[in-house]
Chains A and B, each alone.
Chain A
Amino acid sequence: MAVMTYREALNLALREELTRDPNVFVIGEEVGLYEGAYKVTQGLLKEFGPKRIVDTPIAESGFTGVGIGAAMVGLRPVVEMMTFNFALLALDQIVNSAAKLHYMSGGQYNVPLVIRGPGGPAHQLAAQHSQSMEVYFYHVPGLKVVRPSTPMDAKGLLKAAIRDDNPVIFIESETLYNVKGEVPEDPDFVIPLGQAVVRREGTDVTVVAYMGMMYRAMEAAEELAKDGISVEIVDPRSLQPLDTATIIGSVRKTHRAVVVEAGAGFAGMGSEIATEITEEAFDDLDAPVLRVTGAQAPMPYARNLERAKTPTKEKIADAIRRVCYANGSR
C-alpha cells in the first residue's frame, strides 16, 4: 500500500494497463504534450510515445468515434473528456454506436472502450461545467457507468474498466483529484464493476452516496453519532451495474434509507435506488426512503447560490434525522 492522491492513482492505473497490454492507448484533448488538463496523464507521453498517447483537436465527436472504431478492431482505447460536460458533443457516438454495436452486430463486435474524465459539481464552474453527467449514460442499455470516490477505487475500478469488453463511462471529479488515500501497488489489484462498499457501519439508517456526496455524508454521520444516531454509508461505486444486494442488505439491517446525489433529483439515481429499496425491502422499511438531491435548476456561478443548489452536510443530516423520526416531527 502506498499513500497517493486520486490523480496519482488514476495515473498509476493507466501506466500499469498501458504496460500490461499493448492494445491500450489514451486519446483526447491535451492528454499528451500538456499531460492532461488535470494532469491525470502526466508523464505518459514520455513513457509510451505519441502512438499510445494521442493528442486530438477539440472535436469530441470525432475522437470518440476514433476510439469506438479502434475498439471494434481490437484495441482498448481510453478516451479522455477534458470534462464530462463535453461528452454531450459525442453523445450520438456514445449512445448510438458504442452502446449498441455489440447488440446490433449480433455479437460480432464489442467495444472495449473507456471514456473517462471529471464530472459533477466542483467549485464555481457554473451551469455548463457542473453537471452530474452520469444520469445521461446509466439510462442507456449497453453502457456501464462508474463513479469512484477514493484513490483506491479510482485505481481498481479504472483497471477493471479498461479490462472490460464493454464501453464504460468512468466519471471522476475535479474536487477529488487531490484527495489522498491508501492505494495497493499490486499491478493485479482490480475492483470488479458492480460491487458496492460499506464505507461506514451503522445500525439506524443507511445512506447511499458516492463521490463528494459520500464525503459529506461521512461528515454528517460523524455529527449525528454525537446525537446517538448510528449511520451506515454505502457507496455504490458503479451505478450500472448497480449492486442492489449490498444496498438492500444494509436497509434490511437499518430499516431506513436516505439516498444522496449531487444532480437534480427528478428521475435521478436516488429515484432508482429508492424504488429498488421499496420493491425489494418494503416490509423492512420503518420510514419512507428520503432523497437529498441537487435542486432542479442550472448550477449558479455565485458561491452562495451554488451552495444553495447542492446537497450539504446540513441537508443530509437533516434528512437522516427526519427518516429516523429524530427531528421532533410527529
Chain B
Amino acid sequence: MPVTKVVMPKLSEQMESGKIIKWLKKEGDRVQSGDILAEVETDKADVEMEAFGSGVLRKILVAAGNKAPVGSLIGVIAEENDDIGAVVAQAGSGAPAAAPSGAKPGMADRPAAVPPQPKSEDPAARKPSPSTGSESPGSRRVQDAVAAASVPQPSGDGGRVKASPLARKIAAQSGVDLKLIQGSGPGGRIVRRDVEAASTAPAAAAVAAAPALRPVAQPAAAGAEYEDLPLSPMRSAIARRMPLSKAPVPHFYVTSEVAMDRAWELREELNGLEGQPKISVNDFIIRACALTLLQHPGVNASFQGESIRVFHRVHMGIAVALEEGLITPVLRDVHAKSLAQIAVEARDLAERARQRKLRTQELSGATFSISNLGMFDVRDFSAIINPPEGAILAVGSVRRVPVVSDEGLGVGRRMALTISCDHRVMDGAMGARFLQDVKKLLEEPLRLLV
C-alpha cells in the first residue's frame, strides 16, 4: 500500500492556512478513502476534511487547535508495516530550515506542532505568527503594489488567476496568495519569478512588522492607550479582498426609493397563511432582482479584461452579517425559484452561515449580490462590489415616512435601494433602468407570485 500524505487542503480560493478544530480519527485508527479525518476552520467556514487514501492513520503531525499552511503535511496514512520515517522526517527536517536564519529570530520558538511548509527557500514567505492568523506581510506588501498600480487583478477570467502550473505549485508551498500578485507573463500570467519575487521581497518588511505584531499576543495593560486585536481569518480575508474591489473597479452608484406599502401588505397576508414559510422583505427583493436580472442581462455580468461575460442564470450572493465579519453565501439559479423556495433556502443558508457550516461550493459563483442593512434602521448606504461580479444592491430599512399623493399628505412605507455598478461593465442608465424595473416589481408585488 502506498503511503498517503495528509496535507492541509485548499478549501477556498483565498485560503492560505487552516486550523484543525479536531481530529475525528486518532493515531492507529484504520481509515478508508473518503472517511472524514478532521474538521478544519478556514477563513470562511468549518469544513470536514476527507481522507484521500486508505490505511492506518499512523501519524498526526498537527494537533487540534493548531494552524497549518495549505499544502503542508499534517498527517500520514500508511499500512502498519510501512516505513513512514522518511515522510515524517521530511516534514521534520524542514523545521530548522523553517526557523528563519537570522531574518526573524522571534519565530524560532513557534509551536513544534505546526509543520513547516515544504521546500520554500525563503523564510519570509512564511506566516509571521501562526497564532495570529494574519496573512504574511509579504503578500500584504504585494497587495499594496497591486492597488497602487490600479491593476484590475481579480477581474481576469471569472475570478480565476492566470498562473503557470509551476507558479501555482511554488505559491502553494510558500503560502503566497496568487490573487495578490501581478503577473509579468503574457496576458498577465503569473510565472515563477513573480511568485519568488513576492515571497522574497518583503524580508525587510517582515522584520519591521514583527515588533508591531508582537503586542497582539499580550493582553492590553490597564489604562493602555490602545490595544491591537488579532485579525480573525475572516477579517483577514475581508481586509485582503475589499481593496481588490474598491481600488481597481470603478464603482458608480444609483439610488432609488421604492414604495413598499403593497409588498408589506402582501407579505403580511402570505405570512398569515398556515403552512407557508415565513417570507422576509429581503426574499421579495431577491425575487424581484432575480426576475429583473433576466430582463437586464447586462447587469448580470462580469468584466473579463478583454470581454464582458453575460450570465444566463442568476446566482445570488446574499451578504450575511456575523459577529466577526460578513460572508456571502450563494443562492443558485434563483431566477427559477419561487418566493417560498427562496425564503426557505435563503434562511437555511443564513443559518448555516452563522453556524459556519457552509460548504465551500456555497461560497462562490455569485453573478450578483444583495446586501441588506434594513434591520439596523439604515436609510441608505452603498456597498462594495464583490469581484468578479458586476454589481451589488444595497438595501436600506423600510421606513414609515410622510408621502405626498394626489389625495394629499399621508403615511407610506418607503425603502431605498442603491446599486453599485462596475463602470467597465455598464453605464449609469443601465443601472437606473434595472433599478426602475426592480422598483416596479416591488410596487406591484403580485408579479412576484406569478
Looking at B13-21, B182-190, B392-400, the stretch in contact with chain A turns out to be B182-190
**A330 surroundings in chain B (CB, below 8 A):** 184-188
> Is A325 in the interface zone, CB < 8 Å from B?
yes
A286 adjacent to B166 (CB under 8 Å): yes
The residue in A282, A284, A286, A329 that gathers the most chain B C-beta atoms within 10 A of its C-beta is A286
B433 interface residue, CB < 8 Å from A?
A: no
Q: Do A286 and B186 touch (CB < 8 A)?
A: no
Q: How far is the CA of A254 from the CA of B258 in the complex (A)?
A: 62
**Are A284 and B186 in contact, CB atoms less than 8 angstroms apart?**
no
Say yes or no: A287-B164 contact (C-beta < 8 A), given A255-B192, A325-B191: yes
Return the CB mask of B143-174 against A: 1 if under 8 Å, else 0.
00000000000000000000011111100000
- Size of the B side of the interface (Cβ < 8 Å), in residues, is 14
Those of A262-293 within 8 Å (CB) of chain B: 282-287
Chain B residues contacting A282 (CB-CB under 8 Å) are 165
Q: Are A283 and B166 in contact (CB under 8 A)?
A: yes
Q: A255 — nearest CB in chain B belongs to which residue?
A: B166
Q: Are B165 and A283 in contact (CB under 8 A)?
A: yes
Given the known inter-chain contacts A255-B192, A286-B191, please indicate yes or no for A325 contacting B165, CB distance below 8 A.
no
Shortest C-beta distance, B270 to chain A (Å), equals 54
Identity of the chain A residue whose Cβ is nearest the Cβ of B190 in the assembled complex = A286
Give the dominant DSSP class at B's interface.
Answer: helix
Chain A minimum-CB-distance residue to B163: A286
* Given A255-B192, A286-B191, A286-B192, A325 and B185 contact (CB-CB distance below 8 Å): yes
Complex Cα–Cα for A285 and B166 (A): 5
Q: For chain A, what secondary structure do more than half of its interface residues adopt (helix, strand, loop), or is it mixed?
A: loop
Q: Are B164 and A285 in contact, CB atoms less than 8 angstroms apart?
A: yes
The interface residues of chain B lying within 8 Å CB-to-CB of A285 are: 164-166
CA A286 – CA B167 in complex, angstroms? 6
B188 contacts which chain A residues (CB < 8 A)?
Answer: 330
Alpha-carbon distance A287/B168, docked complex (angstroms): 12
In the bound complex, CA of A287 to CA of B167 (Å):
9
Q: Which residue of B lies closest to A287 (CB)?
A: B164
Shortest A277–chain B CB gap in Å is 11
Instruction: Tell me how far the C-beta of B156 lies from the nearest C-beta in chain A, rounded to whole angstroms.
Output: 14
Considering the complex, give the chain A residue whose CB is closest to the CB of B170: A286
Chain A residues positioned under 8 Å from B166 (CB to CB):
255, 283-286
**Residues A287 and B185 in contact in the complex (CB < 8 Å), given A255-B192, A325-B191:** yes
Chain B residue at minimum C-beta to C-beta distance from A285 = B165
Q: Interface size of A by Cβ–Cβ distance < 8 Å?
A: 10
Contacts of B185 in A (CB 8 A): 287, 325, 329-330
B192 contact set on A, CB distance < 8 A: 255, 286
- Is B169 a contact partner of A325 (Cβ separation < 8 A)? no
* Complex Cα spacing A284 to B166, Å: 5
Q: Of residues 31 to 69 in A, which have CB atoms within 8 Å of B's CB atoms?
A: none
Within 8 A of B (CB), among A201-253: none
| A329 vs B183: C-alpha distance when bound (angstroms) | 11
The proximity string for A residues 302-330 relative to B, scoring 1 for CB distances below 8 Å and 0 otherwise, is: 00000000000000000000000100011
Q: Would A284 and B165 count as touching, CB distance under 8 A? A: yes
A252 nearest CB neighbor, chain B only: B166
Min distance, Cβ A42 to any Cβ of chain B, angstroms: 51
Looking at the assembled complex, report how far the CB atom of B120 sits from the nearest CB atom of chain A, in whole angstroms. Answer: 16
Given the complex, which residues of A lie within 8 Å of B165, measured CB to CB?
A: 282-286
Quick check: B191 and A329 within 8 Å, CB to CB? no
List, in ascending order, chain A residues with CB within 8 A of B191's CB: 286-287, 325
B8 smallest CB distance to A (angstroms): 18
Q: Is the CB of B186 within 8 A of A283?
A: no
User: Interface digits, B108-133 against A, CB 8 Å rule (1 contact, 0 not)?
Assistant: 00000000000000000000000000
CA distance A285 to B185 in the complex (A): 13
Contacting pair B169 A283 (CB below 8 A) = yes
Closest to B192 in A: A286
Which residues on the A side are within 8 Å of B184 (C-beta)? 325, 330
Task: Report chain A residues within 8 Å CB of B168.
Answer: 283
Asked if residues B186 and A329 are in contact (CB atoms below 8 Å), the reply is yes
Please report the C-alpha to C-alpha distance between residue A325 and residue B184 in the assembled complex, in whole angstroms: 8
Residue of B nearest to A281 (CB): B165
Chain A residues contacting B164 (CB-CB under 8 Å) are 285-287
- Chain B residues near A283 (CB, 8 Å)? 165-166, 168-169
Q: Separation in Å of the A196 CB from the closest CB of chain B?
A: 22
* A326–chain B nearest beta-carbon distance, Å: 11
Chain B: CB-nearest residue to A325: B185
- Chain A's closest residue to B193 (CB) is A325
Nearest Cβ in chain B — how far from A325, in angstroms? Answer: 5
In the assembled complex, the Cα of A283 lies from the Cα of B170 at a distance in Å of: 9
Which of B164, B168, B184, B185 has the largest count of A CB atoms less than 10 A from its CB?
Answer: B164
Q: When the two chains form their complex, are residues A325 and B167 in contact, meaning their CB atoms are under 8 A apart? A: no
What's the Cα separation between A329 and B191 when bound, in Å? 13
Min CB distance A253 to B, Å, is 12
- B77 to chain A minimum Cβ distance, whole angstroms, is 22
- Bound form: Cα–Cα A325–B186 in Å: 8
- List chain B residues, Cβ under 8 A from A329: 185-186
Bound Cα distance from A284 to B164, whole angstroms: 9
A322: nearest chain-B partner, CB-CB: B186
A10 to B184, CA, bound (A): 49
Give the docked Cα–Cα distance between A286 and B193 (Å): 9
Please report the C-alpha to C-alpha distance between residue A92 and residue B168 in the assembled complex, in whole angstroms.
49
Known contacts A283-B165, A286-B166; 17 further A-B pairs (Cβ under 8 A): A255-B166, A255-B192, A282-B165, A283-B168, A285-B164, A286-B164, A286-B167, A286-B192, A287-B185, A325-B185, A325-B186, A325-B191, A325-B193, A329-B185, A330-B184, A330-B186, A330-B188
Q: Which 8 A-B pairs rank lowest in CB-CB distance, beginning with the nearest?
A: A286-B166, A286-B164, A286-B192, A283-B169, A283-B165, A329-B186, A282-B165, A285-B165
Q: Which residues of A contact B (CB under 8 A)?
A: 255, 282-287, 325, 329-330
Give chain B's interface residues, CB within 8 Å of chain A. 164-169, 184-188, 191-193
Query: Could you show 5 A-B contacts with beta carbons less than 8 Å apart?
Result: A285-B164, A285-B166, A286-B165, A287-B164, A330-B188
